[in-house]
Structure 1
Amino acid sequence: MLRVENLCKSFGGVVATSDVTIEFPTGSLSAVIGPNGAGKTTFFNLISGALPPSSGRILLDGVNIVGQSSSDIVRLGIGRAFQVAKLFKTLTVEQSLRGALMSPLGKSLQLHGSFPLSATRDRAHQVMEQLGLQSKADVVSGNLSHGDQKLLDIALALVLDPKVLLLDEPVAGMGPEEREQMIETVYDLWQKGGLTVVLIEHDMEIVFRISQHIHVLSYGKVLAQGSAEEIRNNPAVIEAYLGTPQETHA
């Protein structure tokens, strides 16, 4: 289980995250939503170790991970995919995944030639199959379509077998067909993989369709938490973010 308690983050006099307490049960699929500037990406940065909190705790299976490095947090079981995919642009899909597998083993990433440790090939192909990337194994990452780059970014997090998968706007920049394929992939990963999935997403149709729990941030604070139905009909959320039914975010 992932739980944040009284999490705060300030940048000088600007409070980005204020006394946030949220629990993500093991095996759940949750969404974090809110208007631009609500503190959603900062929230992910705090959980993943990219930023240190000003105060508060981040508990993974009851252990406080505040103060751990980003790489140590990955080893402990938190993986993250980004709104803008962070890839090894000159490596093929398979090389990228095998390189990610080697990194926690203390091996240096080889930009040319083959990677050692044959076990990494099996795991890389397993994840490529999960995400529909097996036919792209030998394609250089920088040459992939936008949708496939987003899939590879998820694969890079998934290949290390995380307990918790953080997805920052997984369908950003996609057309309707790619968006539908991506969300089906995410939902399938969650159903079959036993993962705790937390996503930031602006597409409310997707959020309401797949999320078990929704957490709404506004000005760095928790505005509301609940089921899709509870959030959809919450007056404070409607006023701060969703708008009237005619104005609801697409």
Structure 2
Amino acid sequence: MLRVEHLSKSFGGVRATRDVSIDFPDGSLTAIIGPNGAGKTTFFNLISGHIRPDAGRVLFDGADLVGLSSLEVVRRGMTRAFQVASLFPTLTVEEALAAAVASRRRQSWRVLARFPLPDARARVEEVMELMGLSGQARVLSRNLSHGDQKLLDIGLALALEPKVLLLDEPTAGMGPDERWRMIGRVQRLWELKRMTVLFIEHDMDIVFRIAQAVHVLKYGAVLAQGTPDEIRRNPDVIDAYLGTDHQLSAAFGEA
């Protein structure tokens, strides 16, 4: 479904992405990891249409997305939740989700309607249930906790009915309990919907717990790719992250 071929991007003299080629099978759950400055968010920006690559292709359902706007990429079926939640602060949870549903169905005239259409209301209720936000339906988005704001941000992306969902550090800024609650929701969402999910994550416990495949970036290039177990034991990954085996044990959770 999603294939990236020879993707490259430079900013001035800095090569942020270097000849990246990755296949993401339909219905897969994939982690993108790498040290700070590895180019992970730039990679998401490139495939989602927020910036244009200097070279390469982003093939989605056989069509090249390069050159399309981020809005058109969304319409093709790829949506994204950001590291910093992007919300409608003056709308309640259910109003924000109803606006996203209306936008997806190109019913912008209904965004501020007091009574959403029955099928739209059903979709809103489904998303709230999936994200564990049903009890917060009438709470203003800006008044949600940090963790619930992140859940709503994913819910807004989900309301757009994606085939591919990009999650940029979904657990950023969360404490341990919130982090595992979040990742449990992501895993349940993937298991129920079987959409293709790509996520950037720094917490290796989370990566190794839920990812089917892991792709490691370093200086914008693919350093390694494989199963979580293969990545955990890859000497190049160990060196890129930590430099020593005993540090890897502490960070990657090995005995």
The normalised TM-score by structure 2 is 0.93
Maintained 8 Å contact 2:88/2:141 = yes
Q: 1:1-150 counterparts in 2 under 5 A?
A: 1-108=1-108, 114=114, 116-150=116-150
Post-superposition offset of 1:169: 0.6
Query: How many aligned residue pairs are there?
Result: 250
In structure 1, give the amino acid aligned to 2:76. L
For residues 49-105 of structure 1, the C-alpha deviation after alignment (integer angstroms, 9 at most, x for no partner) is 111111100011211111111111111111111111000011100111111112234
Post-superposition offset of 1:122: 1.2
In structure 1, give the amino acid aligned to 2:99. G
Distance 1:115 1:84, change over 3 A: farther
Post-superposition offset of 1:243: 4.0
Post-superposition offset of 1:112: 5.7
Gaps of 5+ in 2: none
For residues 145-165 of structure 1, the C-alpha deviation after alignment (integer angstroms, 9 at most, x for no partner) is 000000000000001111111
Larger mean Cα displacement after TM superposition, 197-206 or 236-245: 236-245
- The answer for the alignment partner of 2:161 in structure 1 is 161
SS of residue matched to 2:244: coil
Post-superposition offset of 1:121: 1.3
Larger mean Cα displacement after TM superposition, 150-159 or 117-126: 117-126
Q: 1:203-242 counterparts in 2 under 5 A?
A: 203-242=203-242
Maintained 8 Å contact 2:26/2:196 = yes
In structure 1, give the amino acid aligned to 2:40. K
**Alignment root-mean-square deviation, CA:** 1.6
In structure 1, give the amino acid aligned to 2:114. S
In 1, Cα distance between equivalents of 2:245 and 2:77: 39
Distance 1:230 1:24, change over 3 A: same
Gaps of 5+ in 1: none
SS of residue matched to 2:26: coil
Q: 1:194-209 counterparts in 2 under 5 A?
A: 194-209=194-209
Maintained 8 Å contact 1:8/1:20 = yes
SS of residue matched to 2:247: coil
Post-superposition offset of 1:110: 7.3
Distance 1:224 1:90, change over 3 A: same
Maintained 8 Å contact 1:71/1:104 = no
For residues 143-190 of structure 1, the C-alpha deviation after alignment (integer angstroms, 9 at most, x for no partner) is 000000000000000011111111111111111111111111111111
Larger mean Cα displacement after TM superposition, 91-100 or 101-110: 101-110
In 1, Cα distance between equivalents of 2:106 and 2:180: 37
SS of residue matched to 1:71: helix
Identity %: 62
Distance 1:243 1:193, change over 3 A: farther
In structure 1, give the amino acid aligned to 2:4. V
In 2, Cα distance between equivalents of 1:112 and 1:162: 23
Post-superposition offset of 1:211: 0.8
Maintained 8 Å contact 1:4/1:22 = yes
SS of residue matched to 1:246: helix
Post-superposition offset of 1:108: 3.7
Distance 1:47 1:147, change over 3 A: same
SS of residue matched to 1:172: coil
For residues 7-54 of structure 1, the C-alpha deviation after alignment (integer angstroms, 9 at most, x for no partner) is 011112211001000011001110000011100000000111111111
In 2, Cα distance between equivalents of 1:183 and 1:219: 27
1:180 and 2:180 aligned? yes
Post-superposition offset of 1:107: 4.0
Poorly superposed stretches of 4+, deviation over 4 Å = 109-113
